[in-house]
Copies of this chain bind each other. A is one copy, B any other.
């Protein structure tokens, strides 16, 4: 019996056919605003509740990704999605409207890469000929569910993060496209006994480092094989911790090589505290910015390690720690 193996290599080549990203009002002020395919001018997104708005975001991302590829929904074999809402309802209602066989997943803010890993695995192995994967977060639904309704005006510590109102979707198939999904590393749950649900960057940093390290070891790669190693939403606090932990593991990366979507999405805006977070933060930065950079040939190889905090309000009330996980997917430019 061999030891646990975390990394999947996709021997039958599998590609990102198209991606789409959708955002809300804060995302209009992002330095990466131009990379969004659609930005709603109200966080209600034309709906009557924030939960309906969240569903509108993910659904629009899915439809745009499909349209950009000039595919029809009934040509897609499986839809893999998840979100932060209890019972991932935004994803499930979207699955109803898309009418595609559906696998619901939950990995908190690491959902985008769990979804992309599974999509690539199912397509590479031939189980599905194509897969659509998506995720979403909405600032107001996350605040209400995990913390306090925004209307209460609760004060926040400087290490807290701002949940992105954003969705991202990716369509995956074996048909040749510039960005190949070459491997994925499925994370273990890492618990550093952080109990403050506002300090998630610190809680998630060790999970990202564990997955990046195991990914490089299992693939026998040095870190500089990748032009970029990207985390999902550690924010400034978590990013610094992760940088230090990587250094201790002998993985020294400069600020050009190692980047965090949570630090990038809102640039220097002060009201996001330590940075962006939420499933939509990594999804919109990776599917909006980094995939485009790969498609255009500005980057050749990117490792994306999103991180998720797997707590619930109930587990926090019961004094349980903030469990974290990180799933990584490697995106490499094929020879086109």
Contacts and interface: CB of A to CB of B under 8 A. Distances in A.
A121 B121 CA distance: 9
Interface in A18-60: 49, 51-52
Contact of A86 (B107, B127, B313): B313
A43 to B, nearest CB: 17
A107 B127 CA distance: 20
Nearest to A2: B129
Nearest to A125: B125
A13 interface: no
Contacts of A102: 186-189, 325
Number of copies: 2
A74 interface: yes
Given A121-B122, A186-B78, A323-B92, A100 B4 contact: yes
Interface residues of A, number: 64
A234 interface: no
Contacts of A85: 312, 314
A96 B1 contact: no
Contact of A105 (B93, B106, B312): B106
Given A102-B325, A106-B106, A187-B101, A312 B86 contact: yes
Interface in A226-241: none
Interface in A96-130: 96, 99-108, 114, 118, 121-122, 124-129
A220 to B, nearest CB: 18
24 contacts: A1-B75, A4-B76, A6-B77, A51-B314, A85-B314, A86-B313, A87-B106, A87-B310, A87-B312, A93-B315, A93-B323, A95-B189, A95-B325, A96-B323, A102-B187, A103-B105, A103-B107, A103-B118, A104-B107, A105-B105, A121-B121, A121-B125, A121-B127, A124-B125
For the complex of A and B, the 3 pairs showing the least CB-CB separation, nearest first, are A125-B125, A87-B312, A96-B189
